[in-house]
A and B are shown apart, each in its own frame.
Chain A
Amino acid sequence: MEFFRIKRDIPFMSYGKLTTAISLLTFILAVFFLVYKGLNFGVEFTGGTVMELRYSRPADLNQIRATVDALKYGESQVQALGTTRDVMVRLPNLKHKTSAQLSNEVLHTLKQARPDVELRKVEFIGPSVGEELVQHGLIALTLVCVGIIVYLAIRFEWRFAVSAVIANMHDVIIILGCFALFEWEFSLTVLAGILAVLGYSVNESVVVFDRIRENFRKPGMRGKSVPAIIDNAITATMSRTMITHGSTEAMVLSMLLFGGPALHGFAMALTIGIVFGIYSSVLVASPLLLMFGVTRENMLKPVRVKEEAVV
């Protein structure tokens, strides 16, 4: 079996303007949704009150949801907790109410609808914990970028490093934009997923960069222009790119479908991340490389002539 029968190098670089325009557009859209709608942060970040309820008979989640929503506390969540009788209710922190007041009110209202409800636990997560998480997340993000830039700058050249990181950020912003647009909950596992995409996506860029570097050094490529060299590199790795992404995507989709609610956010972040990872490594990182003016001379380290021993 052979999927990719590419006769000639595909002129990716000549589409540069178009692809740049597309990624710029998606990027701006993502930023727009992030600013306009914001992320639907999970309780780990925002803090909040989590109540665990137990019913003596199986509970009706929809009815509970409707009751809690009717109290208009904002973004509240109702979900089953392992069994049909255990229910978890998440409430956001409200400025003018303490978590104890909040949980009492909810319990009171729920009791009116179903007297067999029993409060098992009230948990309050303060906003300071969330602040710390955000801080750590940002430090991790910065450190990842710096680490990648330094490594790529050493192994390749600064232009490669900067292009890869910009392409990477592009992916991350777009995933965040999707989470903002669809109002999916942004939890700690989603953060883990996004940070994983960062590693994954740079992996992609590096594979293409590696080919570009190799092409620059190949004697057969000497007469070719820089865009032609990049086109050739992308074309040559095309088959591998598609197969690898297909495999990873198969794994992640399997997680999305069979992993249950606990893995859902993580798998979702990765599913989107992988799709944009292919796109950005081919159509964002490489044109950027061209824009920064990479030349053959950048990549050809001066050949050190071995000094022969004077006998």
Chain B
Amino acid sequence: MNRYPLWKYLLIAASLLAALLYTLPNLFGESPAVQVSGANAATKVDEAARERAIGALKGAGLRPDGVFAEANSLKLRFKDTETQLKAKDAIQGALGENYIVALNLLPQTPAWLAAIGGKPMFLGLDLRGGVHFLLEVDMKAALDKQLEKVAGDIRRELRDQKVRYGRVVRERDSVSVQLRDQATLTATVRAIGRVLPDMALQQIAREGDYRVVVRFKPEAQVKLKNDAVAQNITTLHNRVNELGVAEPVIQQQGEGRIVVQLPGVQDTAKAKDILGRTATLEVRMADDDQARIQAAFNGDVPAGYELVPMAGVRSGMPPAVLLKKEVELTGDNITKAEPTYDQNNNPIISMGLDATGASIFRTLTRENIGKSMAIVLVEKGKGQVITAPRINAELGGSFVIEGGGMTVQEANDISLLVRAGSLAAPMNIIEERTIGPSLGRENIEKGFYSTLYGFIAIAIFMVLYYRLFGVVSTVALGANLLFLLALLSAIGITLTLPGIAAIALTLGMAIDSNVLINERVREELRNGMSPQMSIQNGYSHAFATILDSNITTLIAGIALLVFGSGAVRGFAVVHCLGILTSMYSAVFVSRGIVNLIYGYRRRLSTLSIGQVWVPQQQKQA
């Protein structure tokens, strides 16, 4: 009756073994490391760069403990921080400014464990230290950028409406449109009012001075600022995620500020680079007038134009392109950027535009057939022309970028950078803080010892009170802890101090299931059941209760997970997982052990479950 089929025992054994394996990486700790990556999308950490780095180390007489070459980065593990610092200087010297050489920590997980996906738990900022930034969104720049766009929209609309207009100039916080007479003024006001309802219009009609001054309405300005912050947060998320920093915290703080926490990153310079490496695409019109291009190369750039260098200069191409400053289309309107191949198997990027973008793009290409258009990748405030094709036909909501000999890697990088989105406004770091690893270590220690002491207290009590069944419960509780740690490590959930609290609380609550079972078994014995029957009934009766009570707790946990943030969320994740593992270990694992102990005994007269007291009246009955 109390025998599991063999596969169940095997399942228990296998799950325990797996839990042990995946918990193991946490014991190895971390060692200092140096990480090398390219400073921008164009710089790759290729074979040559790797060799140069390793050569530099040899030259300095340093030997790395481990070399890990990844797609676009190189990680070198060192024995101590002193070697790490020396190595950083040596590599930086050898590779130059085009590469970022940053200090980092690497887990010392042995290769065979890493090969099966074993990795230590990610520790939150409060446990491992890390960098913390407070960024301020440059609202003035956000407004400038939007006004630049508004100016473009006005020109386009007036052209479409066939209204004759003079200069459209962006001033400090407004765009002014020069007009000829009252009639064009009225037509302009009507046209702008229709397409740009968010703008406040001021009409100036004096003899010889007909103008419309366009400003953002106050409420539109507020919305603009909020949108800028929201978009920057999204972009930062994408950026940081694509670079693989474990569970970063990116939140708005107050008006126009963004907090970024990158746990585990030791080097603020590297972190700054992660945040700064945001790119956007811009579509701008190029000037094809050879005389003017020549003049520009000689240093005479016409007003309203600028020379933008080509990305990855190749033979037979000019080093730079003369572009209008006016931006026709930005990354905001781009919905898709995917690397693919054209019919000749050359890498291209397939782009998609949203409705607004498509409409702008259609007008732009229709009116400029025969002229050149440039697609500019703007990274860290600096533009690079990816391609400057001649417009042959009207284009709609989707188009491709063919980069004249662009490599597959470049196509991948550009699409990744564009996908990661663009910043609505530049940001300045107004505060940066590094949380030292020593404080984190202290927090881990305190959390660990409080859990340990609690566990010991519970174990002692359970064994004294329930004897052998208490031992089984304690083993099940230990298994629960193991499962939980293994899950946290394998899934890659960031453990924070509240998470440690959740581990402790979950263990405290998990013993409930065991107590329920043990009490039920005792009760069955008290009612005069045979030992084997008591085990059977005890477990099955207790199960309904365990299920109900755990599911209600789980409901509470999931709600916290969905709506909590920060500390609450860190707690909820571990709590929810703990409830699941405790159900498995309390019901399945403990039953398995009990079955192994008692299930195969023919004549079982007593169970070692502590004293079972039977009331006098029941005995007589």
Contact = CB atoms under 8 A, between A and B. Distances in A.
Interface of A: 1-3, 5, 7, 44, 47, 52, 81-82, 121-126, 128-129, 133, 136-137, 139-140, 143-144, 147-148, 151-152, 155, 164, 187-189, 191-193, 195-196, 198-200, 202-204, 206-207, 209-211, 214, 236-237, 239-240, 243-244, 246-255, 257-260, 262-263, 266-267, 270
B504 A189 contact: no
A254 B455 CA distance: 9
Interface stretch (B160-168, B215-223, B409-417, B432-440): B432-440
A196 B497 contact: no
A123 to B, nearest CB: 7
A82 B436 contact: yes
B559 A147 contact: yes
A128 B560 CA distance: 21
Nearest to B618: A7
Contacts of A44: 566
Interface string B235-279: 000000000000000011111010000000000000000000000
Contacts of B549: 202-204, 206-207, 210
The listed residue with most A CB atoms (<10 A of its CB), out of B450, B511, B562, B572, is: B450
B618 to A, nearest CB: 10
A129 B453 contact: no
A248 B511 contact: yes
Given A140-B559, A140-B564, A251 B504 contact: yes
Nearest to B134: A123
Nearest to B553: A199
B326 to A, nearest CB: 36
Contacts of B455: 251
Contacts of B439: 81-82
Contact of A195 (B252, B257, B507, B568): B568
14 contacts: A44-B566, A133-B565, A144-B559, A144-B560, A155-B548, A187-B567, A192-B567, A195-B556, A203-B550, A240-B516, A248-B512, A262-B446, A266-B501, A270-B505
Contacts of A129: 251-254
The listed residue with most A CB atoms (<10 A of its CB), out of B438, B454, B523, is: B454
Given A5-B613, A129-B254, A189-B498, A210 B548 contact: yes
Nearest to B564: A140
A240 B557 CA distance: 23
A262 B497 contact: yes
B565 A250 contact: no
Contact of A192 (B134, B254, B512, B560): B560
Contacts of B450: 254-255, 257-259, 263
A144 B515 contact: no
Contacts of B559: 140, 143-144, 147
B208 interface: no
A239 B512 CA distance: 11
B423 to A, nearest CB: 21
Given A121-B431, A260-B443, A263-B497, A254 B451 contact: yes
Contacts of A148: 552, 555-556
Contacts of B257: 126
Given A129-B253, A240-B519, A247-B458, A189 B567 contact: yes
A149 to B, nearest CB: 10
A226 B178 CA distance: 88
Contacts of B500: 263
B610 A2 contact: yes
Contact of B449 (A5, A7, A202, A258): A258
B548 A195 contact: no
Interface in B514-566: 515-516, 519, 523, 541, 544-545, 548-560, 562-566
Nearest to B445: A260
Interface in B275-317: none
Contacts of A125: 253-254
A260 B556 contact: no
Given A140-B564, A248-B508, A207 B516 contact: yes
A174 B551 CA distance: 25
B9 to A, nearest CB: 28
Given A188-B568, A189-B567, A203-B550, A1 B498 contact: no
Q: Which 9 A-B pairs have the closest CB atoms?
A: A126-B254, A251-B508, A199-B556, A248-B508, A251-B454, A254-B454, A140-B563, A147-B555, A258-B450
Nearest to A259: B450
Contact of A7 (B254, B505, B615): B615
A2 B505 CA distance: 25
Contacts of A187: 567
A202 B512 CA distance: 13
B324 interface: no
Contacts of A244: 509, 511-512, 515-516
Nearest to B465: A1
Contacts of B446: 258-260, 262-263
B571 interface: yes
Given A82-B436, A140-B559, A247-B508, 15 more contacts: A1-B464, A129-B253, A133-B565, A143-B559, A189-B498, A199-B555, A202-B549, A202-B553, A210-B544, A210-B545, A211-B545, A240-B512, A247-B515, A250-B458, A255-B450
Contacts of A136: 563-565
A103 B380 CA distance: 33
Contacts of B611: 1-2
Contacts of B511: 244, 247-248
B253 A199 contact: no
By size class, the interface of chain B is 35 or more
Nearest to A128: B254
B512 A203 contact: yes
B399 interface: no
A254 B504 CA distance: 9
A82 B438 contact: yes
B51 interface: no
A236 B541 CA distance: 13
A204 to B, nearest CB: 8
A239 B519 contact: yes
Interface string B368-395: 0000000000000000000000000000
B442 interface: yes
A136 to B, nearest CB: 5
A158 to B, nearest CB: 15
Given A248-B509, A260-B443, A206 B568 contact: no
A247 B463 CA distance: 13
Nearest to B617: A7
A239 to B, nearest CB: 6
B568 A191 contact: yes
B71 interface: no
B64 interface: no
B1 interface: no
Contacts of A155: 548
A216 B464 CA distance: 34
Contacts of B436: 82
Contacts of A188: 566-568
Contact of B442 (A47, A82, A239): A82
A3 B466 CA distance: 11
B575 interface: yes
B447 interface: yes
B41 interface: no
A196 B505 contact: yes
A46 B422 CA distance: 32
Contacts of A137: 563-564, 568
A151 B555 contact: yes
B571 to A, nearest CB: 4
A247 B556 CA distance: 21
B568 A258 contact: no
B501 A189 contact: yes
B498 A260 contact: no
A221 B149 CA distance: 79
B571 A196 contact: yes
Contacts of B610: 1-2
Interface in B561-599: 562-568, 570-572, 575
